[in-house]
Amino acid sequence: MHNQMSAASLNHGILHSVLESERQRTGLTAGIFALMIVLLLAVVYLPGTWPDALADPIRGLFWPFLILFGAMMLYELVLRLRIGRLISRSKLPTWLFCYVNVLIETSVPSIMLLLLIMAMGPWQAMASATPMLYPLFIFMAALYLNFWVCVFGGAVAALQFLLIAVIYIGDEAPIGGLEMLTDPSAYMVKAVLLLATGFLAGFFTVSLKRQIRLSVENAQQRDHAISVFGQHVSPVIAQRLLQQNLDIEGETRDACVMFLDIRGFSRIAADKTPHEVMLYLNTLFGELIDVVNAHHGIVNKFLGDGFMAVFGAPADDSEKIPHAFNAARAILVRIEALNRSGAIPLTRVGIGLHAGQLVTGNVGTHERKEYTLIGETVNLAARIEQATKEFDARLLISEAIWKRLPLPPADAIDLGPVALRGQGQPMRLFKLA
């Protein structure tokens, strides 16, 4: 089932890419015809821009060219709107639509050649820049991302160009020194090159479509990895680990660490089944994780009946101290609300906050790594959380937190230097709840 869903998602991603490519193609083609209109106006209304020998025939064809270019530009804009509707419905255009559209677009240079032949003569028209438009429209067809559509475009261009050459150049008398311009065999070579251009555009299309498929697959695998990995660690960490070299040794950061522990968890779990205990923890932690995330922190580890969160890593946060402090207070408010509503058994927690230098990075072997926080700051935060039991406190913060708060709370109780377990020097702590 998962493989089927992945395949469907992949096909939907490729479908979206094809439709977006087609919408871009119509916009670009409309832009080409708009540019032709600008050039046409320049020839007619800017005397001296072009030699009279070239400009005079074009001035005589001003209205036919203007109608042709304007109609094609409008046609492409209408197609763009239609492609937009197909995108909204996730439907591809039919194969007949693609082939007919390529036939219409590739025929534009042929119509221009016929008009120029009537105005200036066959070989002069064929020697003009107009045939150079054929490869342009052939490569525009590559944005259909269909090999055979490109080949069809090349074949249409080659056949139309060759027919015009045979019909109009074949009976022309040779011109002194310019026999090549009146030799049908030269146009045969050009027609073959146009057909080859169609195949070349087709091969380019195959390569482009393969790259799109790989890009869509990689993007979906990345999203899936973040989704699955983010169920075990914060999605922020998952995103960063996927962006960086997984063999990094670590980086030193100034961050704030929060430890939270459920008081009396054994008592709460004693009369419950394992399933009920898991439901309780998921309900409680789900609410608390939302609070941490809302205050720009991340939960780095779950510790059975508690967790460790960090503010200011792996992403920088200049307001990490007030964010962590406000998150701790918001957690206490959220737990009180859950207790009153009866959504969880009566629950009390202890929270310890400390800030300072620590090292973040990946720890483990090549087969198994874990993004973690290491340093005395982490150890002290854990000891401060344990001290909440001694002082019957729900929230204790270190002096490092206290000094860096924009406005120290008036309800704080200064506990003075406190000897923490495993620490040689006492630490000044403040009780907030």
Mean pLDDT, 10 residues at a time, the chain of 433 residues:
39 62 84 90 75 71 90 91 81 81 92 88 81 89 84 94 83 52 73 91 83 71 56 55 54 92 90 90 91 87 89 85 94 94 92 92 69 87 93 93 87 89 86 86
Separation in Å, CA 408 to CA 380, 397, 428, 430: 21, 11, 15, 10
Domain span(s) for CATH 3.30.70.1230 in the chain? 240-431
Q: What is the pLDDT of residue 211?
A: 79
Q: What is the pLDDT of residue 118?
A: 86
Q: What is the pLDDT of residue 291?
A: 92
Distance CA 219, CA 332 (A): 39
- pTM of the predicted structure, to 2 decimals: 0.52
Q: Are 204 and 182 in contact (CB under 8 A)?
A: no
Q: In degrees, to the nearest 5, what angle opens at C-alpha 287 toward C-alphas 379 and 374?
A: 20
Q: Which residues share a beta bridge with 416? A: 429
Distance CA 122, CA 182 (A): 9
Peptide bond into 314 cis (omega under 30): yes
Q: Are strands 395-398 and 348-364 parallel, antiparallel or unpaired?
A: parallel
Distance of CA 232 to the CA centre of its chain: 24
Distance CA 289, CA 301 (A): 11
Separation in Å, CA 281 to CA 192, 230, 289: 73, 18, 11
Of 224, 244, 226, the C-alpha closest to 235 is 226
Q: Topology of 240-431 in CATH?
A: Alpha-Beta Plaits (3.30.70)
